[in-house]
Amino acid sequence: MDVASLCLFLSSLTVSPNKSQFFKYDSFRVSCSEDEWRVMRRAEDGEVHACLSSCPVDVAFPDTDSGVYWCQGELGATSNHVNITVTGGLLILESPALPVTEGGDVTLYCRSKFSRNKADVHKDGVHFALTSFHGNLTIRNVSKSDEGRYTCSDPELGQSPESWLTVAGKKKKKKKMEVAEQRRGVNQACDTTEEETPPWESNGICNHGDGGIASCPADATAEVPMETGQSEDLPVTSQTPGSGPVVVQGRNPASEKLQQVRKWSITTYKCTRQALSEKLGRGSRTVDLDLEPRLELLKDDRRRFDQATKLAQTLADQVAQLAATQKTLGDAFAELGLKTPALHVEFGMNAEAQKFLCKSGETLTAAINSFTADMNTLVNRTMEDTMVSVRQYEAARIEYDAYRVDLEELNLGPRDAVTLPKLEQAQKDFQSQRERYQRVREDLSVKVKLLQENKEFFAGASAPREPFPLAPSNLLIGAPAAASWRDAVIGVNQSDERVTCRTSDRVGRKWSVVTATEDQRSSGWKLSEADLSVDRRGLEASPSSRLPSAECDGN
């Protein structure tokens, strides 16, 4: 690169829509302002998950999408941190996820799933104010004293999760940060914004503050070497007359830092040029015919697995709600049976049927939750770890191709005293990048193979072992049981705990019996024209004319 000085700006994190709390199943997007940076999330259990520079959440869940988000660069630099909460409750407090500027206005919304009403707003556990009828509260002329934890509460809907409001200081004026090249005498200045309390270091070395602002004191310029082999032991001097120089003996941390920035910028420039050349079809690239098709399949599989996990979780929630409704309905039928002697038998049978359906729903919900937990482990841990390696492989491949192209261009050029040192350095850089690319490729190949084995094991472990018990299908709610008689009449006899199958079929037909309260199947009974009773332990008993509530399947 011909430019001898660089202005380094940190990436900033944005949340769309700009709020820190979301209901379950809502959607939002977390993005970094720089494409080279990645969105990171720290979950409540402390585990860190990585995403691309733009991380969309189509269907939010508390377990998989709540946490602290930030942007992180390749050199380890980080952006501002934002805490996002996804709740399955009925109330949230919508406050800005990003800092608000001191002196401005901010509006807090206490929102419920049903409607907006007046609600109490608390700050740091103390009652703060009462919202308007529409649930909003506007704070005028925000100051640092307004920063803190806010919640809102409603007598009927409960309390929302805590939401942290951050107040940033006013931006006062612009100052200059100059990086001087010692040999060429070239100065390039970039405008930087100074906050009210800039985070300077005591020795005059530039330091980066939060919020994506590159900061440097107005009275200091770092004189840095920009040519290979130049001494790094240079003093940091002040430009303000009479202030005196600040000299750091021995190693100069500022020079080393800016040398790292320069190296990173050159690499970024080459990789960006290579990536654009590939997208425009003007450059060559290395293709691994064995690995890269498997990576495309892996990306598609991850999207499908993730979608299946979210749909399964939605199904589990809906089945759980249905089971709770059926339990309530069964209790209502039981109560009606006690209060209505004339329909005691009919209401009792329907009550038992609803309780059977409730139990089946609870069993199904537990099975789906177990499936979802396994899928979450596969998608958000095992596959995500492999996807991080995939992104590292793609970055290493682009960087390898970028240095390969540079070496090929130098080999095609003239050989003289100026180009030979550059060619030698290019060969060293190319060899280093090739070794790194091969190392990352081998590591990724092992992870892809292990992931395939895990997927096969998961598929085998998730296969059902036994048929799921079904609910009675020949009981009609609100009608006498005799109205649904066909091949068999079934029911539960509470007095002697017998299960009865009644049929008018020919002798020799096989039947299977499933009780209403236990998943036990007794099959192979030969029925005659007379009734046959089988108790819940599967033992033959005396004939019975009662109508129990169980399932009789004919084979």
Question: What is the torsional sign of CA 281, 284, 288, 291?
Answer: negative
**Structure tokens of 332?**
């209502």
DSSP one-letter code for 480: -
Radius of gyration of the chain (CA): 35
Rounded CA-CA distance 214/201 in Å is 13
Helical H segments across 207-291, by residue range: 253-279
Rounded CA-CA distance 121/135 in Å is 10
Nearest to 521 by CA among 476, 469, 451, 457: 469
Rounded CA-CA distance 136/184 in Å is 59
- Beta strands 120-123; 236-238: pairing state: unpaired
Contact 302, 387 (CB under 8 A): yes
The CA-based angle 140-143-144, given to 5 degrees, is 150
Residues in contact with 288: Cβ distance below 8 Å, sequence separation at least 6, in sequence order: 441
Q: 14 - beta bridge partners?
A: 31
**Structure tokens of 473?**
């299908």
Which pLDDT score, from 0 to 100, does residue 117 have?
63
Which pLDDT score, from 0 to 100, does residue 386 have?
83
Packing angle, helices 419-461 and 384-412, rounded to 10: 160
Nearest to 290 by CA among 442, 453, 456: 442
Q: Give me the domains of the chain, ranges plus CATH numbers.
A: 1-88 (2.60.40.10), 171-279 (no CATH), 292-461 (1.20.1270.60), 485-554 (no CATH)
Rounded CA-CA distance 79/76 in Å is 10
**Structure tokens of 457?**
């094991």
Rounded CA-CA distance 8/262 in Å is 10
Nearest to 85 by CA among 14, 19, 165: 19
> pTM higher than 0.75, yes or no?
no
DSSP string, 353-383: HHHHHHHHHHHHHHHHHHHHHHHHHIIIIII
Which pLDDT score, from 0 to 100, does residue 68 have?
92
Rounded CA-CA distance 457/377 in Å is 13
Contact 310, 316 (CB under 8 A): no
pLDDT digit string (tens) for 420-463? Answer: 888 888 888 889 888 988 898 888 888 888 877 766 655 555 44
Nearest to 32 by CA among 48, 12, 8: 12
Residues in contact with 24: Cβ distance below 8 Å, sequence separation at least 6, in sequence order: 60, 61, 62, 86, 87, 88
Rounded CA-CA distance 523/555 in Å is 9
In total, the chain counts a number of residues equal to 555
Which stretches of the chain drop beneath a pLDDT of 50? 1-9, 174-249, 462-555
**Structure tokens of 471?**
């609910």
The CA-based angle 70-74-80, given to 5 degrees, is 20
Q: Phi first, then psi: give them for residue 500, nearest 5 degrees.
A: -120, 130
Half-sphere exposure of 213 (CA within 13 A, CB side): 21
Residues in contact with 411: Cβ distance below 8 Å, sequence separation at least 6, in sequence order: 423
Rounded CA-CA distance 374/457 in Å is 11
Which pLDDT score, from 0 to 100, does residue 459 have?
54
